[in-house]
């Protein structure tokens, strides 16, 4: 926890709000602008003495539930909420419902043609991909609007021959997925991991090793009908959507 920075941030967010902004009656007796601590405490459902310690940098830890309540009381934006959690040193998985923004992501991957590319959301579902990606992996056409990457790798038999060194790639994905679950925990991801462990031995063995891996570039070989194709694969985080990734294949041939 960055206690002093956290306290300063909370005080400045409180000072910028007027009572009317949060549905409270205005008063002419205020000496300083902004909400009082007591008002924020009531809105957030926390104790005023505890909120005082938090603003003064004297609190050692705080839960995600309390931070969410304070963020709502202070009318924090999406970016400010993430900043609050980061200052408190608390992992936070945003409720990523921004699929209304998929048009911009679709334009992004379409603009990368002829390079195959797709976007993964927080749940590791492929939310958009371009025509080059579908040409590389025709299975996408029969996999529904938002297929899950792990399920595709483990459940579609044809990928075991299309993807060179399939088992090595599954092991790499499992290590990256474990790191992702730690950074962006959710019950949905835990359920997905449990299902894959129960249904697929290769995933279960890799998962039980507790290895983790970063999203580093590496070479991929795809056994296409035109012959083996070599790519440099890049997995890039999308800062505006925590937990989302852009996956890009750059031809090496």
- Residue 70: closest CA among 96, 52, 91: 52
d(CA 128, CA 244) in angstroms, rounded, equals: 12
Asked if the bond preceding 136 is cis, omega within 30° of 0, the reply is no
CATH top class, domain 99-251: alpha beta
Q: Count of residues for the chain? A: 253
Note the pLDDT of residue 97: 45
CATH top class, domain 3-88: mainly alpha
Answer yes or no: are the C-beta atoms of 202 and 167 closer than 8 Å: yes
CB atoms within 10 A of CB 78: 13
d(CA 97, CA 242) in angstroms, rounded, equals: 12
Q: Tell me the whole-structure pTM to 2 decimals.
A: 0.67
d(CA 137, CA 61) in angstroms, rounded, equals: 47
For the chain, what are the domain ranges?
3-88, 99-251
pLDDT tens for the chain, 253 residues long, are 688 888 888 888 888 888 777 777 666 666 677 888 888 888 888 888 888 888 888 877 888 888 888 888 888 887 788 788 888 888 665 544 444 468 889 999 999 999 999 999 989 999 999 999 999 999 998 888 889 999 999 999 999 999 988 999 999 999 999 998 888 878 889 999 999 999 999 999 999 999 988 888 999 999 988 889 999 999 998 877 878 999 999 998 7
Note the pLDDT of residue 100: 45
Structure tokens at 99: 């699929």
**What DSSP assignment string belongs to 174-185?**
HHHHHHHHHHS-
Note the pLDDT of residue 1: 64
Kindly report the backbone phi and psi dihedral angles of residue 97, in degrees, each rounded to the nearest multiple of 5, phi listed first. -115, 20
């Amino acid at each position: 926890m960055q206690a002093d920075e956290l306290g300063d941030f909370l005080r400045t967010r409180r000072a910028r709000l007027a009572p009317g902004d949060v549905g409270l009656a205005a008063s002419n007796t205020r000496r300083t602008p902004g909400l009082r601590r007591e008002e924020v405490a009531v809105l957030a459902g926390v104790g005023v003495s505890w909120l005082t310690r938090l603003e003064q940098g004297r609190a050692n830890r705080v839960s995600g539930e309390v931070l969410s309540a304070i963020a709502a009381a202070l009318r924090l934006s999406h970016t400010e909420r993430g900043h609050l959690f980061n200052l408190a040193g608390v992992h936070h998985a945003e409720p990523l419902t921004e699929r209304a923004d998929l048009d911009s992501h679709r334009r992004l991957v379409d603009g990368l043609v002829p390079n195959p590319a797709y976007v993964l959301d927080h749940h590791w579902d492929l939310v958009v991909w371009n025509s080059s990606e579908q040409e590389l992996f025709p299975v996408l056409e029969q996999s529904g609007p938002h297929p899950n990457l792990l399920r595709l790798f483990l459940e579609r038999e044809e990928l075991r021959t299309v993807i060179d060194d399939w088992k090595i790639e599954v092991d790499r994905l499992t290590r990256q997925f474990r790191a992702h679950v730690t950074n962006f925990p959710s019950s949905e991801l835990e359920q997905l991991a449990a299902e894959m462990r129960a249904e697929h031995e290769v995933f279960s063995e890799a998962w039980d090793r507790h290895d983790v891996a970063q999203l580093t570039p590496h070479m991929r070989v795809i056994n296409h009908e035109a012959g083996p194709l070599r790519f440099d694969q890049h997995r890039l985080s999308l800062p505006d959507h925590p937990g989302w990734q852009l996956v890009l294949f750059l031809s090496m041939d």
